[in-house]
Amino acid sequence: MPDGATPPTRLPPFTAAQTLNSKFIPSVLIVGAGIGGITLALDLDEAGLTNWINSQWTETHPDHREIQRYWADIVRTQGLTNRLRLQHDYIKAEWDAAQNVYHVTLRDLVNDKEVVYDCNVLVCATGAFSEPNRIPLEGEDAFEGKVVHAARWPRDMSVESLRDKNVVVVGNGCSGVQIIGTLGLDPRIKMTALARGQQWFMPSSNGGIKASRNSAPNSEQLRAIRARWPILQRLHRWIFLALADQRFYYQWAKSGEKARKKIERDIGAWMVARAPPNLKDKIVPNFPFQAKRYIFEDGYFAAINQPQNRAVYGRIAGLTPTGVLTDDNEEIPADVVVLSTGYAADHIDMQVDGENDSTRNYDGKGDLVYYHGIALPGMPNYYTMMGNNFLVNHSSVTEVLEIQASYITQVLVAMRDNNIPKLEVKKAAAKAYDNHIAAQLELTTWPLVNNYWRKGGSGRIFTHYPGPISQQWWDNAWPVWADYTGGEKLARRQKIRKILFALLLLVGGTVGGAKLWAAGAPQSLVSAGGEVAQWLVGVVSQIAQRLHLK
């Protein structure tokens, strides 16, 4: 601390570490109150609850107002409000080995002062897309208009306020396309869509509710049915996830190639048919389908075909006082420049000094080796919900967050139930996991493109999990305690359960086989097979439940 500076206020923890009925109750501080942070808080309250199911979504892809209302209602109704500290910016955390706590320094933005909280467990849930990737623009100081990033949209900048203005939207990723599809359909906005490269676009599957959005209405009748039988909502979710997982197939570089070529032909022709004349021979990407996230077009084609608008390929080279300069030396007039240039996903959001390591020792997220995208060696009791290689390319991030929240909850419940004050993932386990992920990544099409998924734009892919969600769930369904220092007792119990499980499986298999034989194998094998398989699944799932394997 500099000489003369006011020392930070030291506050009691939200919930002090306690001993209750001789159980250690760890105090937990979660940084970030987005979907991930709230899901984890709910899980911890319920110790195991996942899959928030809302039967009342008005459409398949509701807009931000409805999503925000839903989460705000959850915070209010589930008793999280008094434990929430809004307007606090995380600054740093230091592990105190003598007390097994992190001293966490935050800046209270309302009172403009530093405060320190102590906690046994620290969780980073600050999101992968919180910080904009703000590219430096030569000439910005002299630019007479306004430059905004999609992630920092000014609250007072409505579509109406942009009428009779020249707007240049830079970027054609998921955010850019939604902005283009909204601003570009207003005939009084003159929009130029500038993009440095192509994208694979998919048709929006709208149900007619809003002209171009990829969303379909959920009728009141459907919502009432789902509210009456929540299992249907759950089923719908599983089907959605299964369909999304099935699309992962295109991302396997070799085995998915044939299917990929076919879809590339079909979607390529669909895109060419919708492209404006100047883009027809340029619009189809030269990288494989799904090597980047495909994009629901959300009104993009309608917008760039409007007579007042234009779409061009090129890079923004800088700004003149009245426009955008491209790398082709073209000047595009601009009153407002919207940067949809992605997110700073590769830098380290949280400065954490652990027992034997610190995030300060690394240049960026791409250098860190997170075990299962969640835990870091050298940093006991520290978990993150957006460590490397955990996002998915083809499915819902919400599902990913639920998987992580469930994993972290299991770890904390085990600490509580077994009086473990400190758990730390082993370096060797983290390295082995990282090697496995790196090898799997090589099997996908992703190494064929460069983007902000990579460290510095072209280094190691550090954001994405190389497999479908179902595999990710399986990989993270329960912690492997042998990988944790401090988890030795749990590891022994896990080993015994595994042996028991294998034995019971063997016995079950033998009895099942005998039953099959008695049913008249081989001629009635087919009819008896279904019955036996069903019986076996029942036995196995009962055993798994009793052994708390799930």
Q: Which residues bind ligand FAD (CB under 6 A)?
A: 31-37, 89-90, 125-127, 129-130, 174-175, 349, 385-386, 396-398, 401
- The nearest distance, CB 104 to ligand FAD, in angstroms, is 10
Q: Closest approach of Cβ 370 to ligand FAD, in Å? A: 15
Nearer to ligand FAD, 195 or 536 (CB): 195
Residue 60 or 322: the one with the smaller Cβ distance to ligand FAD is: 60
Render the burial of 490-516: b for 16+ CB within 10 Å, e for the rest: bbeebeebeeebeebeeebeeebeeeb
Q: Which is nearer to ligand FAD, 53 or 507 (CB)?
A: 53
Least distance to ligand FAD, CB of residue 158, Å: 18
Q: Which of 306, 268, 296 is nearest to 176 (CA)?
A: 296
Which secondary-structure segment (H or E) carries 427? Answer: helix 427-441
Residue with smaller CB distance to ligand FAD, 27 or 133: 133
Contact 308, 189 (CB under 8 A): yes
Closer by beta carbon to ligand FAD, 90 or else 484:
90
Shortest Å, Cβ 40 to ligand FAD: 9
Strand partners for 193: 169, 311
φ, ψ at 242 (rounded to 5°): -65, -40
Residue 65: C-alpha distances to residues 32, 71, 86, 215, 295 (Å) = 19, 10, 19, 15, 22
One-letter amino acid at 139 equals G
Give min distance, CB of 386 to ligand FAD, in A. Answer: 6
Cα–Cα distance, 378 to 53 (Å, whole number): 37
3-state secondary structure 140-185: HHHCCCEEEEHHHCCCCCCCHHHCCCEEEEECCCHHHHHHHHHHCC
- The alpha carbon of 445 is separated from its chain's Cα centroid by a whole number of angstroms, namely 20
| Between 149 and 260, CB nearer to ligand FAD | 149
CA-to-CA distance for 525 and 517, rounded, in angstroms? 8
Q: Among residues 68 and 510, whose Cβ is nearest to ligand FAD?
A: 68
Among 30, 36, 33, 29, smallest CA distance to 401 is for: 36
- CB nearer to ligand FAD: pick between 240 and 252: 240
Min dist. Cβ of residue 127 to ligand FAD (A): 2
Close Cβ partners of 183 (under 8 Å, ≥ 6 residues apart): 159, 162, 167, 169, 189, 191, 303, 338
Question: Which residue has its beta carbon closest to ligand FAD?
Answer: 34
Minimum Å gap between C-beta 244 and ligand FAD is 10
- Describe the strand order of the beta sheet including 121-124 as a list of residue ranges: 28-31, 121-124, 382-384
CB of 4 to ligand FAD, least distance (A): 26
